[in-house]
Structure 1
């Protein structure tokens, strides 16, 4: 019996057609990321940062639209990963290098490249593990969250007008930290819990409205604070689980 080559299955799937709606959102994410690169090259760093954040919104919508409409496909998964590498890997890397890392010379562009390659590794690992890990948790920092942290950092410094030296050093440390977290085994909440779409207490609606109001009032500060808390949630959650495990082992031995 002969075995059909995997490429034949892919060609057959493409002949059947692709789903338009979720792939349009993915294309919107790719366009926003590409325009972020163009803006960074032209020196419009805060514009580039905003377009990276816009790209993350499109990226979140394409997956939700595909799941809600039952239009998930292998083509969409591959296209989404390629778009993510451009929008959340290359775009933030170029933005960080042009905005703050260029004075470091070789160390600066190597830091930017490390961010890109760790983002690519993170995407590859996600595609391999997508059917074998818990859907409510990501293994390693998601690359859209890392890119959003980079963008919010640019917006915060643009808003505060911080000193150049502090900006450059802090960004260099941030890039290495984000690169490490993307390839780490820290677990991050995925916000894919179906319970989130069900009825919630009235207080949750009030809290959400207050949060939106605060974000609109001070978007640069609030975006930075929200993404920073999310990034720290992985290491903090690991330490909490480690402390609980240690306490449980001590109680069992006693």
Structure 2
């Protein structure tokens, strides 16, 4: 192999690792958000989820720009999304307002996570056609996380309704064009 070939191969590997590093940053931030939610640091959890959203956006941009989209990257991205935009926001809202509702609050929290996982699995087996089917989990997670800012104003029932609506929007069959 020529020096030029070695340089091109090395350059492509570095670009691939950049996208994967951003995806791993996303999942790490989501995991830290979960830990901080458990510890009661809800504001820090909110911040970490939004930084994870930025990392998620950047990893997709890097993969498309460098034309390094791969099946591994797609699966890794979904695993990070379920942590950062499924589990982390749901636990944040559970801690912030749903815990007083007992089993009903816990059930709706888990429903949101399950619907997010279903949405990601369906996305991974569906051919990309320039459309989303259902609300992407990243959008649902950011909406849910953003709702935390209304914590002092919202009753637990508002959070309950929001979780249920977002859950069904994620698994809905409506289609809308990707931006």
Provide the TM-score with structure 2 as the length reference.
0.87
Are 1:124 and 2:121 matched, yes or no? yes
Are 1:48 and 2:45 matched, yes or no? yes
SS of the aligned residue for 2:176 comes to strand
Q: Where do 5+ consecutive residues of structure 2 fail to align? A: 1-12
Which structure's relative contact order is higher, taking Cα pairs within 8 Å and 6+ residues apart? 2
Q: Which residue number in structure 2 is paired with residue 74 of structure 1?
A: 71
The offset of 1:63, in angstroms, is 1.1
1:144-195: CA deviation from partner (whole Å, max 9, x where unpaired)? 000000111012x25xx32xxx43110010000000000001223421xxxx
Q: How many residues align?
A: 166
Candidates 152, 158, 162, aligned match of 1:170: 158
Alpha-carbon RMSD:
1.5
1:98-117: CA deviation from partner (whole Å, max 9, x where unpaired)? 11111111101100000000
Distance 1:62 1:20 in 2: 10
Q: Which residue number in structure 2 is paired with residue 149 of structure 1?
A: 143
1:85·1:119 contact (CA, 8 Å) conserved in 2?
Answer: yes
Provide the TM-score with structure 1 as the length reference.
0.62
Q: Which has the larger radius of gyration?
A: 1
Are 1:60 and 2:53 matched, yes or no? no
Are 1:140 and 2:128 matched, yes or no? no
Structure 1 residue ranges, 4+ long, deviating more than 4 angstroms after superposition: none
1:97-246 to 2 correspondence within 5 Å?
A: 97-129=94-126, 131=127, 133-135=128-130, 137-155=131-149, 157=150, 161-162=152-153, 166-191=154-179
Distance 1:107 1:114 in 2: 10
